[in-house]
Structure 1
Amino acid sequence: MTPSMPASPVLKPVVWTIAGSDSGGGAGIQADLATIHDLGCHGCSAITCITAQNSVSVTLVEPVSERMLLAQLDALLNDLPPRVIKIGLLVDQKQINTLATWLGSALREYQARSGNVVCVILDPVMVATCGVRFGDGKRGGNRLDFLPFRGVITLITPNAAELTEFAGRGLTDLSDCHDAAKSLADTLDCSVLAKGGDRGAVWEAETARDLFVCAEADGSSWVHQHKSFLLSSPRVDSCDTHGSGCTLSSAIASVMASGFVLHDAIMVAKAYVSAGIKQSHRPGKGPGPLARTGWPHKLNEFAYISELNSNDPFAEKLKFKTLDERLGVYPVVTELSLLQALLEAGAKTVQLRVKDREDPGLEAKIIEAVRLGRDYHAHVFINDHWELAIKHRAFGVHLGQEDLYQADLPKIARAGIALGVSSHSFFELLFAAQLSPSYIALGHIFATTTKVMPSQPQGLNKLSHYVALLKGQYPLVAIGGIDLNRIAAVKQTRVDDIAVVRAVTEADDPIAAYRSLVDAWESEG
């Protein structure tokens, strides 16, 4: 059964939507609240304006007073503070300035006082799908200036027409759009998701493609080296896309509120919108509202991730060795003596992790580890050192996400050795899956002290999501802080195998500890 987020309805994370009311129910506040609820969060709303609209046209927009807008925000903050805020339609410059000032003062004060970080997702509703241009409350009004939001928003999600508005010029091709998105990211000091799904977008293709540009200050994206990505999904031939932008941004907010990082939230939200468009319905004459389909759990609903340069490590379709046996309890060790003792104890998969590249005995250790693997008819993986692993014909190599850009992946594939890849999030999991590796490691599940980690512990709830998405596609190995007391809970997620480090290496009797872990893993129901 596919897990839901969050596990307990009592602990639903709070998401705010600050946007306009859509009388047709397909976009705006109504679409946001439906999405937030569908993805397991509690939605609160601060209404910026009342609109008379349906799925075909917008006939009248009336903003609420500044006093009313601020009163809504203050009332919510005093009782239901948010984990994430989504901002939608702001009808004039005065509202932008008012909200930006409030975010920079009242919300910032709350964050300092509580220690809670509140992410803000801005969907700059400047040009609606039906062609209405918002600005100073009327069609064809002055272009809105979002610069007051600099430094207080996490992500902005312009569509193709809005990106052109921000650029202040015509955009001719994908490269031009990328430059415009990077300029916008620098200007507003935030990440940018430029949406290209609308027919007629400059970078339109047979697939629906979005541009994702990371903010330089976004520490959560360090493993991807602040690269820009193209997110491509099969185009759904449907005009039923009314409210798709509102749904995407509120879905991103909801997934982040549930504990996922920005990269993850974008991937899940894009899949959620794709599924919603496929199942949309038409209660009236115009385009129908998107269906609310719950947390996406089908791999083909998720976007393909690619880089915007010729050095994309995923550009070539690769094939790595398929594992013919389960990994079981998979120890990761630093010492050859322990590696040999584990093989003598019956371990069939072991990893040698020597992090010091300046170790004068590095190559000799890898040579000996490979020999031991052959002697004991076991699978020995070499962590990081792929060139030496190829040179000495190791069974396999294990790489972290940051190593995928330095390693010669086609050369590893041609060498016929197995490849294991680490992942720390949905984004990285999907990124790794595109390689068709021999296995994917999911972690770190619990807190660990064996290495400095770029992310927070994933926990069992996230692990359940990852397994539900890729179960049966690749061997999935949970790693990070797993010990004898946690095996039963980990196994309930239906993950295929577990990798262990401290539970063996720091045990008083490593071999006895290993055997106990194996017994527990194989006996738990």
Structure 2
Amino acid sequence: MRIETALLGNKLQKKPIIWTISGADCSGGAGIAADIKTGHNLNVEVCHLITANTVQNSSELIAVNPTQVEILALQVQALRFDKPPAVIKIGLIANREQINWLIDMLSEIKSQLPNLLVVYDPVGRASVGGCLSSLPNSVLAPLMPLVDVITPNFIEAKQLCTLTTTSSVNDTRFMAEKILRLGCKAVIIKGGHNATEKPNDNNTHCTDVCLQSLSPTSSQLFTLQSPKINTSYSHGSGCSFASALASFLAHNYLLRDAFTLTKAFINQGLLLATEVKNDISDDMRDDKNEVDRNRYYGAFEQGFWPSKPNNFPIIINPLNQKLQSTKCFEPLDLSEGEKLGLYPVIDSLAWLALLLPLNLNIIQLRIKGNNIIEVEPMIEQAVAMARDYNCRLFINDHWQLAIKYGAYGVHIGQEDLNGADLNAIAKAGLRLGISTHGCYEFLLAKQLQPSYLAVGAIFPTKTKNMTGQIQGLENLTQILALADTTPVVAIGGINQQRLDKVWNTGVSAVAVVTAITEAQQPVTATKTMQARLC
């Protein structure tokens, strides 16, 4: 069979490349083996540089045999131009020579690849017991400014904090702040080894935190929580966490979304292992076998791209407090199987007057500016105009005025969500729509139980600068799998040429702006798009 090498090359070029620099585990659970399995299942090409050959099995670490740095340097030289990485994932560093080589190599390659990201999993001890690396923490200090994300577990985080403090620390946020001061751009502390949580939580939930530096004086905290999953097949889960994070970052996800997807990937793998255990037939069970299975330490099972809602974590955020005290928002009054269809977003009463007679299911009035003297009479008149038509009119952002004049609903952007009185909106009987950009914001907003969720920008758009937050059709489809019964609106850069592809993903509505406002014949364009979404 003849293979077209040009076509093969084009196909391979579409896959992001990650390098993993770590140790080899002959038992197949951790290190390079976990990295390769994870990367391949998440659709990245994996190049590996082995820092050490370890001798270990499911019960003990016997030996660590470091690789000479000359060999590692030759491997980098062979790969750097042929297969340049989008992300480098670092695991086991076996000795001082390797750390010195790594610092020099990363400094040079980062100067050549300014968008390169580095994920570091600070492996100190093997999960089966025994020391993988005896490097003092002070030796790692020059590496930290070259690291974009470091992913210690709770025990490793406490050890890293000795670089900046000698006090005993157990607070995860405090530790993350200390580690961030070492020079890395972000720190994720995995909660699986945290034995300091409240007793009633410790046996039931696992909490991971991500602290990301935004500037020298500010940072942002992301906290994810999932039920603890008890399984003896978790060997290499820490390596898989870091390599999954590297893979999602290589696919150009923002850190918050890569973090969320990584947590779902790990939950998925742990659940796969429990399903294997639960599939054992009753006649194979006896007390001795059950004890042996519980003692056995098997390899973490890497699944594929996470898509099931039960794999995804809960977002812990101050907005959760609003969720606990907020009355449920009214639904959109859709009959079974009914969708919203075309969703025009317009900025004036003139546009509203033009579109209301067209029998649309939903319209949003987005008025730019905050001059209350100008905005209030426009919203008052808009609500009065919409009452004569069977159309759901949503007011963008101005929730106080929407309540005052009895609008059907209000749409809130992420940047204004914290400042909005969600309880007041719900008590007034208004429907709520929320903008989201990626799976992290989608899951957080979904916990507020809004009337609908908007996902964007699907494509680059003229109306807003969405740099770094373009979702695309593939990501939209993945987010839709998390929606359950919440109606989803797609928005951003959608024109007549893209309309059908977006609609075919299964969204409830397609929001458009310039496809109407810049059309030569706006009414005709609206009717045409409306008919295609029936």
TM-score w.r.t. the length of structure 1 is: 0.89
* Partner AA of 2:231 in structure 1: S
What is the match of residue 288 of structure 2? none
| 1:187 pairs with one of 182, 189, 195 | 182
For residues 311-369 of structure 1, the C-alpha deviation after alignment (integer angstroms, 9 at most, x for no partner) is: 95445465211112232100000011111211112122100101200263101111111
Quick one: structure 1 residues 456 and 507, their matched pair in 2 at CA, closer, same or farther if it must change by over 3 Å?
A: same
Alpha-carbon distance in 2 for matches of 1:30, 1:201: 31
> Amino acid of the residue matched to residue 356 of structure 1?
G
Match of 1:165 in 2: 159
Relative to 1, partners in 2 of residues 1:386 and 1:361: Cα closer, same or farther, differing over 3 Å? same
CA contact (8 A) 2:460 2:466 kept: no
Q: Greater shift after overlay, 200-209 or 65-74?
A: 200-209
Aligned counterparts of 2:216 and 2:343: Cα–Cα separation in 1: 33
Aligned ranges 1:100-499 → 2 under 5 Å: 100-105=103-108, 107-112=109-114, 117-136=115-134, 142-143=136-137, 145-168=139-162, 169=166, 171=168, 173=170, 176-198=171-193, 200=195, 202=197, 205=202, 206-217=204-215, 226-280=219-273, 286-307=296-317, 312-314=321-323, 316=325, 318-325=327-334, 326-358=339-371, 360-453=373-466, 455-470=468-483, 472-499=484-511
Structure 1 residues 404 and 133, CA gap change in structure 2 (3 angstroms) = farther
For the pair shown, which has the larger CA radius of gyration, 1 or 2? 2
Contact 2:233 2:297 (8 Å CA) reproduced: yes
Q: Could you say if the C-alpha distance between residues 477 and 311 of structure 1 is closer, same or farther in structure 2, counting changes exceeding 3 Å?
A: closer
Give the structure 1 partner of residue 527 of structure 2. 515
Secondary structure at the aligned position of 2:39 is classed as helix
One-letter amino acid matched to 1:94: E
1:207 partner letter: H
Contact kept in structure 2, 1:135 and 1:143, CA below 8 Å: no
The offset of 1:275, in angstroms, is 1.1
Q: 1:319 to 1:127 in 2, by over 3 A?
A: farther
Asked whether the equivalents of residues 433 and 452 of structure 2 are also in contact (C-alpha less than 8 Å), the reply is yes
Residues 473-524 of structure 1 deviation map (CA, whole Å, 9 limit, x = unaligned): 21111111111111121123222210000001111222111111112222xx
Q: Give the unaligned 5+ runs of structure 1.
A: 1-6, 220-224
Q: Give, in angstroms, the shift of residue 262 of structure 1.
A: 1.3
Tell me the equivalent position of 2:286: none
Match of residue 50 from structure 1: 53
C-alpha distance 85-315 of structure 1, shift in aligned 2 (>3 A): farther
Q: CA separation of 1:50/1:270 partners in 2, compared to 1, >3 Å: closer, same or farther?
A: same
- Report the CA distance between 1:436 and its aligned residue: 1.1
Q: What is the letter of the counterpart of residue 395 of structure 1?
A: Y
Q: Answer yes or no: is the 8 Å Cα contact 2:145–2:182 preserved in 1.
A: no
- Look up the equivalent residue of 1:89 and give its one-letter code: L
Deviations 1:142-165 (A, max 9, x none): 346432223322211110101110
Q: Give the counterpart of 2:93 among 90, 96, 102.
A: 90
| Maintained 8 Å contact 2:456/2:471 | yes
Determine helix, strand or coil for the equivalent of 1:214.
strand
Q: Secondary structure at the match of 1:469?
A: coil
Aligned residues: 498
1:67 paired residue number? 70
Deviations 1:405-447 (A, max 9, x none): 1111222222221111111111111111111111111111111
Q: What is the CA–CA distance in structure 2 between the aligned matches of 1:218 and 1:439, rounded to whole Å?
A: 37
Instruction: Please tell me whether the aligned partners of residues 124 and 158 of structure 1 are also in contact (alpha carbons under 8 angstroms).
Output: yes
Q: Which residue of 2 aligns with 1:506?
A: 518
Distance 1:317 1:207, change over 3 A: farther
Q: 1:226 to 1:179 in 2, by over 3 A?
A: same
Tell me, in whole angstroms, the C-alpha distance in 2 between the residues paired with 1:243 and 1:446. Answer: 37
Distance 1:409 1:159 in 2: 36
**Rounded Cα–Cα distance in structure 1 between residues aligned with 2:194 and 2:234:** 11
Task: Return the offset for 1:264.
Answer: 1.0
Misfit runs of 4+, over 3 Å: 7-10, 133-136, 141-145, 169-173, 201-204, 281-285, 309-318
Alpha-carbon separation, structure 2, partners of 1:156 and 1:418: 41
Displacement after TM superposition at 1:199 (Å): 5.8
Q: 1:28, CA displacement in angstroms?
A: 0.2
Q: Secondary structure at the match of 1:279?
A: helix
Q: Is the 8 A contact 1:9 1:40 kept in 2?
A: no
Identity %: 38
Does the 8 Å contact 1:213/1:227 carry over to 2?
yes
- The CA RMSD over aligned residues, in Å, is 2.4
Q: 1:102 to 1:125 in 2, by over 3 A?
A: same
